[in-house]
Amino acid sequence: MDIHEYQAKELLAGFGVAIPRGGVAYSPEQAVYRASEIGGARWAVKAQIHSGARGKAGGIKLCSNEDEVRQAAKSLLGKRLVTHQTGPEGRVVHRLYVEAAVPIEREIYLGLVLDRKSERIMVVASAQGGMEIEEIARNSPDTIVREVVEPAVGMTAFQAREVAFGLGLTPAQVSRAVTTLLGAYRAFRDLDATMVEINPLVLTTDGQVLALDCKMTFDDNAMFRRPNVSELRDYAEEDPREAQAAEHGLNYVALDGNIGCIINGAGLAMATMDMIKHAGGSPANFLDVGGGASPDRVAAAFRLVLSDPNIEAMLVNIFAGINRCDWVAQGVVQATRETQLTIPLVVRLAGTNVEEGRRILHDSGLPIITAETLSEAADRVVAALTTRRTPAGPGRASGDVAGGNGQP
C-alpha cells in the first residue's frame, strides 16, 4: 500500500524525523491560507499523487508570494500529471501540499528497504541526493553507503553514525542525521513498512537536517493490525479493479491481454499465465482467489474479471486442496448465469471433490469447455478465442463441453 508524501512525513515526524512546516490544500484559496499559516517568504506547492519524479513533470512549483501560490494551485489541481512512474495515462491531482521552502546546502539520498538476499532491513544512502537510486547506482556507485540491520538488535546509534560519516557529514550534522536515521528505521519496523525513501534529505544552511520529500509503502497483509496506517489508503490513486478485489480479499493485478484468468494460488497463477503465453495467448490479469474459494467468492471474481472490456475469453484453473471443486463449480455456474456470459469459458478442476465439481458443470447445461490438465486448458482457451474470431467458425472451440455431448 502506498501513501502520499504529506502522510509519510506526518508518520515520520511522529518518530522524530524533522520535516519542513506544511499543510494540505484542496483548493487555491486553501493553498493561500496554508501559506499564510506557515509564514515565511517562499513556499513549495506540491502535487500529491502516488508517484516520484513529480518535480521533473512540473508537479512542484516554488512561489514567492500568495498570488503565485494561488496560480500554482490553480494550474495543478485537476491536472493529469504524467511522470515516468505513472505511465502515459498519468494521475489526476486532487490535493496539494504547501510547504515552507528551505535554504538548501546539500541534498542526500536515504532509503530503507527489505533486502531479500540478506533477509534483513538494509539502509541505503548516498551523498548524491535528488536522484533516483537506480540513477545514483549507474552514475555514482561509489557514493552509495549500505548498512544491514540485525533484526534481533535493531539499528544501533553506532550504525547510524557509520552511515552519517560515510556521507561526509560534519560532526555537528551527524547527531541530527542519526536522529533521522533511527527515526526512519523505527517507523519502518513499527509500521510494517516495506520501503521508506527520503529523497532528498537536505542539510540546510542554518544547520537543520530535514526530510524534504518522502515515500513509504506498506505490507498489505499487515494492515489489519495497523489501522492508523490503513486509514491513509487513497483508493482514487489505485486501479479501481484492484481496489474492488481488495474489498473481496482477492489478489488482482491488471495486465494488457484478452484472456481473463481466475486461479487459486499465486504459483499456479504464474504457471497458468506462462502456459497461456506458451500456447500463443495473452493473459488479461493475475487473479488469485485464495484458499477459501466459496461460490460467492468465485462469482465476485467473475464480475471483477469481466469488468475489463478487453476480455474475450475466460480460463478458470483450480487445484483444490483446501478448496473444494464442487464449491468452485457452483460459483462458476452461478457467475456464468448471472453475467449471461457470451465469451468462451474454459474450466480446469483438479483435487478435492473434483468428480462432483465436474458433474455440476456438466449438469448445468452451460457451454463450458472443460480440460483435464493445465496445458490442455491453456490450449483450449487460446483455440476458443481463435475460433471466436473466425467469422466462418462454429463459435465453439474443440474440446469437451460440459453442457454438450462431451464428457465433463
Are 287 and 263 within 8 A, CB to CB? yes
- Cα–Cα distance between 79 and 95 in angstroms, integer? 11
**Which letter, b or e, does each residue of 232-267 get, where b requires 16 or more Cβ atoms within 10 Å of its Cβ?**
bbbeebeeebbebbbebebbbebeebbbbbbbbbee
Question: Which residues does 294 contact at the CB level (< 8 Å), separation at least 6?
Answer: 327, 331
**Helix, strand, coil share (%) of the chain residues, nearest 5:** 40, 25, 35
- The grid cell for 179 is 536522529
Active-site residue 162, yes or no?
no
Q: Give the chain's count of helices (H) and strands (E).
A: 13, 19
80, burial (CB in 10 Å: exposed 0-12, middle 13-18, buried 19+): exposed
6, 97, 99, 109: the active-site residue: 109
Active-site residue 197, yes or no?
yes
99, 147, 197, 237: the active-site residue: 197
10, burial (CB in 10 Å: exposed 0-12, middle 13-18, buried 19+): middle
Name the residues annotated as catalytic.
109, 197
